[in-house]
């Protein structure tokens, strides 16, 4: 193995041509971190180039890993409903994840339990996310949860204090993009909320409505 083969991270798997299709094809063969070993497949983002809204989740879940598409499991169903309730046309959305392979542990032989990706994996996978932002050229990137938010806004970012605000991508993120960023909770956090799930859902929809209004140039939500 050459010395460069040991360098972790997705960067060296990026193709010269950075169109979405070429990125997707190249990401299918990524071995930039350990996660490709146990996962079924790379789950790349979906949507069209020029989509004004890019939603960034954490990582594919069990269903996404099997089917090869982002947000097709329980969290995805909640997200679809929230997008609808926020009055956002799904055609305007490109959906992806901060990490593109499913990280899990096995319980009782079979069941695969989601594990939160570590900083190493988030950093390793970030070149794909950056390349997607540069290829799609969204007006606004919506980070769903802390993993996505910290990938783009830094590890000091907290959803609790920073959610629902229109921010700029920091230069440190190294993205050639004028897109703004807005962070909100992850749809799984809404599903798991034990205090007041309806309230958590409402807050999530409010943030998405703000995001939708931001890309249509309106300052207030349209209900």
Catalog residues that contact ligand URA under the rule CB under 6 A: 57-61, 64, 70-71, 73, 75-76, 97, 188
Cβ atoms 147, 117 nearer than 8 A: yes
Burial class (CB in 10 A: 0-12, 13-18, 19+), 127: buried
- Which among ligand SF4, ligand URA, none contacts residue 76 (Cβ within 5 to 8 A by kind)? ligand URA
Rounded Cα–Cα distance for residues 32 and 37 (Å): 11
Q: What is the number of alpha carbons within 13 Å of residue 189 lying toward its C-beta? A: 17
Choose, by CB under 6 A, the member of 15, 24, 25, 31 that binds ligand SF4: 31
- Which among ligand URA, ligand SF4, none contacts residue 162 (Cβ within 5 to 8 A by kind)? none
Q: Tokens 């998405």: give the residue.
A: 208
| Smallest distance, ligand URA to C-beta of residue 204, A | 13
Q: Does 42 bind ligand SF4 (CB under 6 A)?
A: yes
| Smallest distance, ligand SF4 to C-beta of residue 38, A | 11
Distances in Å between the alpha carbon of 31 and those of 39, 41, 96? Answer: 11, 11, 18
Q: Does 93 bind ligand SF4 (CB under 6 A)?
A: no
Q: Which is nearer to ligand URA, 60 or 162 (CB)?
A: 60
Q: Does 23 bind ligand SF4 (CB under 6 A)?
A: no
Cβ atoms 118, 58 nearer than 8 A: no
Q: Does 143 bind ligand SF4 (CB under 6 A)?
A: no
| Smallest distance, ligand SF4 to C-beta of residue 162, A | 25
Q: Output the six-digit token pair for 82.
A: 């929230």
- 188 three-class SS: helix
| Smallest distance, ligand SF4 to C-beta of residue 124, A | 4
| Smallest distance, ligand URA to C-beta of residue 100, A | 9
| Smallest distance, ligand SF4 to C-beta of residue 16, A | 18
Q: Does 122 bind ligand SF4 (CB under 6 A)?
A: no
Give the helix ranges, DSSP H, for the chain. Answer: 20-27, 62-67, 74-85, 119-136, 146-153, 159-162, 187-192, 197-215
Q: Tokens 């695969």: give the residue.
A: 112
Residues lying near ligand SF4 in the complex (CB under 6 A) are found at: 10, 27, 30-33, 35-36, 42, 99-101, 121, 124-125, 128
């Amino acid at each position: 193995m050459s010395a460069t083969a040991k360098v972790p991270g997705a960067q060296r798997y990026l193709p010269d041509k950075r169109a979405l299709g070429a990125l997707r094809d190249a990401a299918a063969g990524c071995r930039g971190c350990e996660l490709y070993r146990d996962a079924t497949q790379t789950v790349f983002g979906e949507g069209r180039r020029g989509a004004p809204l890019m939603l960034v989740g954490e990582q594919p879940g069990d269903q996404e890993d099997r089917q090869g598409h982002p947000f097709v499991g329980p969290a995805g169903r909640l997200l679809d409903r929230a997008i609808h309730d926020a009055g956002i046309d799904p055609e305007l959305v490109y959906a992806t994840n901060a990490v593109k392979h499913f990280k899990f542990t096995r319980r009782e032989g079979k069941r695969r339990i989601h594990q939160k990706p570590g900083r190493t994996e988030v950093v390793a996978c970030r070149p794909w996310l950056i390349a997607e932002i540069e290829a799609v050229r969204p007006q606004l990137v919506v980070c769903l949860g802390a993993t996505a938010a910290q990938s783009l806004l830094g590890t000091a970012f907290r959803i609790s204090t920073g959610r629902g605000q229109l921010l700029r991508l920091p230069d440190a993120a190294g993205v050639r993009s004028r897109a703004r960023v807005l962070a909100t909770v992850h749809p799984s956090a809404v599903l798991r909320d034990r205090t007041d799930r309806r309230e958590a859902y409402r807050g999530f929809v409010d943030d998405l409505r703000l995001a939708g209004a931001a890309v249509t140039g309106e300052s207030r939500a349209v209900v």
